[in-house]
Amino acid sequence: MRRGTAIRSYEERILAYERALAAPQAAPRHRSPERPEPGSPDPRHRARDPRHRSPERPDPRSPDPRHGSPNPRPRPPEPRPRPPDPRHRPPDPRRRATSPIRFRVRRIAALVTLLLVADVFASFAEAMLRPSNVGPGVRVVEWLRDNGAAGLVSDVEAIYYSLNAPSTGGAALRALPKVGTAGSSSARGYAPPPIPPVIEPALPGEGAWRGTGPLVAGAPPVLVTTFRPDASYPQLVAGVAWVDTSRASLALYPGRYEPPGGGGQAAEVPTSLQPRLLATFNSGFKLEDSGGGFVVGSRIYAPLRDGQATLIAYRDGRVDVQLWTGGPAPGGDVVLARQNLPLIVSGGRLATNLTDGPEWGATLGNAVRVWRSAVGVDARGNLLYAAADLQTASSIARILQRAGAVRAMELDINAEWVTFNFYGGWSAAAPQKLLPDMTRDATRYLTPDDRDFFAVYARVR
């Protein structure tokens, strides 16, 4: 029974399959429409008017009836090359090839710059940290001058001194500063005549010589005085010192840093010689500024140059200021020689070129009035020293000329370097300044000093 039922079910399934095949099949839900045959009208569109039909394009492979030859396929026009966009320029292979070289050059340049900066910093640090008896400001200026900035420093100083130049005129002084001790005359020895006044009436004691303390052979070996040297500046005071070379001798000492190569020296008045010390005063310009020579004893720190003014001391005690013509090395009778620029007084007359150029003070120029100092000799061979503020080369020369100098030379300038000290007793007791307005201490040169200087001693008989 079950077997017959299964056979009938199977037969019904076969008949249902055959009826499904015979029935028309419906289009599938997502089947795309069939494309019409080529050349047959599309049943979805109406037939177009034959008058508006576009001409059929000939088959490129079929022969052209007009020419009877195959019609070649036309080539599309070649596109024009577009200009390159500068923002997207391809890298240059040459630049890629040289980039390592440029990198090395930049690295070397950076290294050189770093070394130069380090060298400058080390030089500046050494100048600021080494022993010195001047303030930091002066050391900075000196370091700039010594390292290629002398022109810049000169320009800045010239502007500063020009803006702060004193005006002429003003109230007259009522009294001069008191220097030295009263009285200078002695029955034994020569005393120079008083300096004639420039401004009348003269003030009490103006131009009169005064002693400084110890006597040598019954007479003062060092005399000092003050006077007003310029009527245009009635408040200006000049100081002058006179040294009797028959009772005193002169010595020259190198400083710590000037002249170059003078290291190892005491750079001060030796303690063993202080019992005979009478006075000390500044020397000349730095040698690199003046180009002059420097000789002490048998040692030549810098060779002497012909044509330069030279302060000379001889073994027999004589002292002279002269225009040097003896070659780079002095003779055996010279114990010291210090040069500085040309003569400012010669034969008792002012030099003719005192108003020319900056040679009388290259750091500031001759047109600027600053502290200046000078040294000369009178007709008897005695030494004369002069110093004053607001001076030019010609005005400091006139001071020494008025004091009796027959030959003279300029020494150092600027307030930091101009110094003349004398001592009221033996062994450097009671030190005093030639002028109270001198900025350095009266004990200068009793301790190590940066610059070279002169010392005056009582002559041993």
User: Cis bond leading into 201, ω under 30°?
Assistant: yes
- How do the residues of the chain divide into helix, strand and coil, expressed in percent and rounded to 5? 25, 25, 55
pLDDT at 248: 97
Q: How many CB atoms lie within 10 A of CB 388?
A: 28
- Asked whether the predicted pLDDT for residue 10 surpasses 70, the reply is no
Alpha helix locations (H) across 388-452? 393-403
Q: What is the pLDDT of residues 216-237, one digit of tens each?
A: 999 999 999 999 999 999 999 9
User: 45-83: per-residue pLDDT in tens?
Assistant: 554 554 555 555 555 555 555 555 555 566 767 777 777
The span from the CA of 302 to the CA of 320, in Å, is 19
| Whether pLDDT at 215 is above 90 | yes
Other CB atoms within 10 A of residue 249 CB: 21
Contact yes or no for 393/372 (Cβ under 8 A) = yes
The pLDDT score that the predictor gives to residue 365 is 45
Model confidence at 23, in pLDDT bands (50, 70, 90)? low
* pLDDT digit string, tens, across residues 40-50: 555 555 545 54
Cα of 373 vs its chain's centroid, Å: 26
| Residue 345 in this model has a pLDDT that exceeds 60 | yes
pLDDT of residue 188: 66
For residue range 253-270, list pLDDT tens digits in order: 999 999 987 666 789 999
Rounded CA-CA distance 296/447 in Å is 20
